[in-house]
Amino acid sequence: MDNPEPLTGLRVVELSSFVATPLCGLVLGQLGADVIRIEPLGGAPDRDRLPRSPEGRSLYWAGLNKGKRGVAVDLSSAKGRELVAELMVSGGETGGIVISNNDRYPEFSYKALAARRPDVIHVLLNGMHDGSSAVDYTIQAMTGFPLIQGPEDAVGPVNSVVPSWDLSSGLYLAIGILAAERRRRLTGAGSSITLSLEDVALATAGSLGYLAEAQLTGVQRTPSGNDIYGMYGRDFTSGDGVRFMLAVVTSGQWRKLVEDAGLAEAMAKIERENRANFADEAERYRCRGAISQLFEPFFGAMTWDAIRSFLADLRIPVGRYQSFNELWERGSTNLVPNPLFSPLQQHGVANAYQAPGLPLAFDGRYVPALDAPTVGEHTDEVLMSSLGLTAQQVSQLRAEGLI
Q: Which domains does the chain show, CATH number per domain?
A: 11-205+337-399 (3.40.50.10540), 232-322 (3.30.1540.10)
pTM: 0.94
pLDDT of 327: 87
SS (H, E, C) the chain: CCCCCCCCCCEEEEECCCCHHHHHHHHHHHCCCEEEEEEECCCCCCCCCCCECCCCCEHHHHHHCCCCEEEEECCCCHHHHHHHHHHHCCCHHHCCEEEECCCCCHHHCHHHHHHHCCCCEEEEEECCCCCCCCCHHHHHHHCCHHHHCCCCCCCCCCCCCCCHHHHHHHHHHHHHHHHHHHHHHHHCCCEEEEEEHHHHHHHHHHHCCHHHHHHHCCCCCCCCCCCCCCCEEEEEECCCCCEEEEEECCHHHHHHHHHHCCCHHHHHHHHHHHCCCCCCHHHHHHCHHHHHHHHHHHHHCCCHHHHHHHHHHCCCCEEECCCHHHHHHHHHHHHCCCCCEEEECCCCCCCCEEEECCCCCECCECCCCCCCCCCCCCHHHHHHHHHCCCHHHHHHHHHCCCC
Residues with catalytic annotation? 166
Q: Mean pLDDT per segment of 10 residues, for the chain of length 403 residues?
A: 84 96 98 97 93 96 97 97 97 96 95 98 97 94 93 90 96 98 97 98 96 94 93 97 97 97 97 97 96 98 97 96 88 76 94 94 92 96 96 96 96
pLDDT of 337: 81
